[in-house]
Amino acid sequence: MRRVFGGVEGGGTKFKLLIGTDPHDIVAQAQIPTTTPDETLERVIAFFRRPDIELAAVGCASFGPIDLDTRSPTYGCITTTPKPGWAYTNVVRTLGSELGVPVAWETDTAGAALGEYTWGAGRHIEVLVYVTVGTGIGGAVLINGRPVHGLLHAEMGHVLVPVADGDTFAGICPYHGQCLEGMASGPALRARTGRPGETIAPDDPIWDLEAAYLGAGLHQIGYVLSPQKIIVGGGVPQTPHLLEKIRRQVTSLNHGYLAHPALSGGIRDYIVPPGLGADAGVIGALELARQSLQSHADQVRP
Amino acid sequence: MRRVFGGVEGGGTKFKLLIGTDPHDIVAQAQIPTTTPDETLERVIAFFRRPDIELAAVGCASFGPIDLDTRSPTYGCITTTPKPGWAYTNVVRTLGSELGVPVAWETDTAGAALGEYTWGAGRHIEVLVYVTVGTGIGGAVLINGRPVHGLLHAEMGHVLVPVADGDTFAGICPYHGQCLEGMASGPALRARTGRPGETIAPDDPIWDLEAAYLGAGLHQIGYVLSPQKIIVGGGVPQTPHLLEKIRRQVTSLNHGYLAHPALSGGIRDYIVPPGLGADAGVIGALELARQSLQSHADQVRP
């Protein structure tokens, strides 16, 4: 019987599921809609209960905010989400008790970052940032392949960005108004133009404004943390030429201050698309599962 | 003969020197003006050449920008500084060959952060940020007591901050104009008011503006990295009540989004003054020296 890992990427609209050991060894995969917690988690559990595999551990990379503090009574929960029924759903406890295996737990962006670090565009990068721009804007920091949690987890999608001259858009973030997510997420783009981003022509001038904000956000992240690479995932950056415009903005905002090739001629290797595309999160969840066994082994080693 | 460490904090106007093993065991200390590289480093070397000690290693926390990449031909150098004579001075090679001991090398802010982590306000803090506000604004990130270098080193003093309504000050940063350092460093305060910060009354309204910018800077750092503590050193934050105003600004900019006590009632433990005061850097350099021997031992261990 094959010894394999389970990967779960829990999203607000769908859950992606994977059984395997790495992106080149996938036993099964599926996608289910996110409905009620009970129904959704039951379908997750049913997917992993197969007679032909020995499930060693499950990794779960989840939408948030989530509780990552292993000492907290609500560890393993999605916390203050407005999504009906999901607030304080304990995903880790439910999956762990039903499947009888260790369950590793991370944010969706940290899962994607881990996938990219292990098999994608972030291999061997000591200080790696993964940013996703879609329904929201989020990000994760990996140092030598380990997610940095700190106080809670990074909220780099909500950094402040200077409002462009003449831009009167008030921003849609209910907390911060004109923060990066408020000005440049998918829903912000839609609120600004009246239509979804994927229907806006790639040569529409709105993309210059979008790149100005996203570039300012990456500039902030770069200056605070000095990452060696920033991977930009999510739906919005798939717009043709947008990533190139973002790179130009980051170079321009540096004004030659940081004298490193990554900020000038080497910027195409500094700000990059994900190597694993939209599957980085669920693939990273496999690695999460593998690491959880490793840390368990480290702990029990005498 | 006592086996001790040497600590050097290299600043643009003065060098601080220390011999000892920790802040409670100081054999000797001195302060010398920063003149030419030759003269200054000769005096540093003379200070450490004493018959009554066995010097095991020297740690040097230096003004920058500095080259921290051990694979680089200019590792150990201060690089593009406008300070006459100092550009591409190889501090590590000079001290190492003259003193015949290992020389550890870090930025001045990373040295201060390390001092605070080891003996000051940052003990046991997994994700720690140290920010200094004085002639410039700089910062360092420690993860489990190890400085994060990434691409070069953090340049968090140059993050973008929203310009306050009605503020027409153009900022003094020669690269970015109105970045945090351009708007809120000591020289910015002086350019704005025509007098040095220490002569401005603590109840002058300029301090509200100063706190608005510094708070915005710490807010950005907090959101990108999610540190568990931010230590604020340097001369400017010693102004009475300024740190409290900065804390209020950080709480206000969060708008209740990050639901953690550190951002509300617990903010006095989140944004704190240095425990070692102005000596954090040179004390941290002692620990740098100690760690360099440890990493050397790790490397040579079979």
The CATH number of the domain where A60 resides is what? 3.30.420.40
A79 and A139 in a single domain? The answer is no
Domain of residue A14, residue span: 2-107
3-class secondary-structure state, position A140: strand
B141 and B49 in a single domain? The answer is no
> What is the pLDDT at residue A64?
83
Cross-sheet strand order for the sheet of A127-133: A146-147, A137-143, A127-133, A229-233, A271-272
B43 and B169 in a single domain? The answer is no
Q: How many CB atoms lie within 10 A of CB B194?
A: 6
B57 and B189 in a single domain? The answer is no
Q: How many CB atoms lie within 10 A of CB A2?
A: 13
The reply to whether residue B153 touches residue A262, judged by beta carbons under 8 angstroms, is no
Q: Is residue B168 part of a domain?
A: yes
Q: Is residue B278 part of a domain?
A: no
pLDDT at B298 over 70: no
Q: Is residue A175 part of a domain?
A: yes
Query: Of the residues A49, A78, A107, which one is the last residue of a structural domain?
Result: A107
CA–CA distance from A218 to each of A230, A252, A273 (Å)?
Answer: 8, 12, 14
Cβ–Cβ pairs < 8 A, chains A and B? 132
A18 and A150 in a single domain? The answer is no
Is the CB of A136 inside 8 Å of chain B's CB atoms? Answer: no
Q: Is residue A113 part of a domain?
A: no
The reply to whether residue B150 touches residue A226, judged by beta carbons under 8 angstroms, is yes
Q: Is residue A297 part of a domain?
A: no
Is the CB of B226 inside 8 Å of chain A's CB atoms? Answer: yes
Closest residue, chain B, to A224 (C-alpha)? B156
> What is the pLDDT at residue B65?
83
Quick one: what percent of chain B has pLDDT higher than 90?
A: 89
- Res. A301 pLDDT band, cuts 50 70 90: very low
Is the CB of A223 inside 8 Å of chain B's CB atoms? Answer: yes
Is the CB of B43 inside 8 Å of chain A's CB atoms? Answer: no
Query: Of the residues B59, B76, B107, which one is the last residue of a structural domain?
Result: B107
> What is the pLDDT at residue B61?
98
CB-CB neighbors (< 8 A) of B224 in chain A: 139, 141, 154, 156, 159, 220-221, 224-225
The reply to whether residue B221 touches residue A224, judged by beta carbons under 8 angstroms, is yes
A145 and A36 in a single domain? The answer is no
Mutation site, A66, A78, A109, A151, interface B, largest B CB count within 10 A? A151
A125 and A102 in a single domain? The answer is no
| Angle at A14 (CA atoms; ends A12, A18), nearest 5 degrees | 125
Contacts 24+ apart (CB under 8 A), A94-99: A94/A41, A94/A45, A95/A8, A95/A41, A95/A44, A95/A45, A95/A58, A95/A60, A96/A58, A98/A45, A99/A6, A99/A45, A99/A48, A99/A49, A99/A55, A99/A58
pLDDT in tens, A12-68: 899 999 999 999 999 999 999 999 999 999 999 999 999 999 999 999 999 988 999
Query: Of the residues A72, A107, A142, which one is the last residue of a structural domain?
Result: A107
- Res. A276 pLDDT band, cuts 50 70 90: very high
Is the CB of A158 inside 8 Å of chain B's CB atoms? Answer: yes
CA–CA distance from B105 to each of A48, B7, B161, B257 (Å)?
Answer: 51, 11, 31, 39
pLDDT at A302 over 50: no
Of the listed ranges A32-41, A229-238, A265-274, B292-301, the least confidently predicted one is B292-301
Q: Is residue B112 part of a domain?
A: no
Please list, in sequence order, all residues whose beta carbon lies within 8 angstroms of the beta carbon of residue A238, skipping any fewer than 6 positions away: A273
Of the listed ranges A55-69, A204-218, B168-182, B287-301, the least confidently predicted one is B287-301
> What is the pLDDT at residue A259?
83
B195 and B254 in a single domain? The answer is yes
- Closest approach of chain B CAs to the CA of A205, in angstroms? 24
Task: Please report how the helices A37-48 and A91-99 are oriented relative to each other, as an axis angle in degrees rounded to 10.
Answer: 40
CB-CB neighbors (< 8 A) of A68 in chain B: none
Mutation site, B226, B270, B272, interface A, largest A CB count within 10 A? B226
pLDDT at B217 over 80: yes
A183 and A266 in a single domain? The answer is yes
Distance, in Å, from the CA atom of B185 to the CA atom of B22, rounded to the nearest integer, reads 31
pLDDT in tens, B81-132: 878 899 999 999 999 999 999 999 999 999 999 999 999 999 999 999 999 9
Mutation site, A142, A160, A221, interface B, largest B CB count within 10 A? A160
B96 and B125 in a single domain? The answer is no
A149 and A269 in a single domain? The answer is yes
Average pLDDT, chain A: 94
> What is the pLDDT at residue A298?
55
Phi-psi region of A172 (alpha: psi -120 to 50; beta: other; left: phi over 0): alpha
Which residues of chain A from 108 to 127 reach within 8 Å of chain B, CB to CB? 126-127
pLDDT at A285 over 90: yes
Q: Is residue B249 part of a domain?
A: yes
Arithmetic mean of pLDDT, A262-279: 96
Is the CB of B163 inside 8 Å of chain A's CB atoms? Answer: yes
Q: Which of B152, B220, B256 sits opposite A224 (nearest CB)?
A: B220
Distance, in Å, from the CA atom of A41 to the CA atom of A220, rounded to the nearest integer, reads 38
Contact predicate B230/B129, CB 8 Å: yes
Arithmetic mean of pLDDT, B44-55: 96
Closest residue, chain B, to A125 (C-alpha)? B150
Number of domains in chain A: 2
The reply to whether residue B225 touches residue A257, judged by beta carbons under 8 angstroms, is no
A97 and A27 in a single domain? The answer is yes
Q: Is residue A292 part of a domain?
A: no
The reply to whether residue A155 touches residue B256, judged by beta carbons under 8 angstroms, is no
Arithmetic mean of pLDDT, B48-64: 95
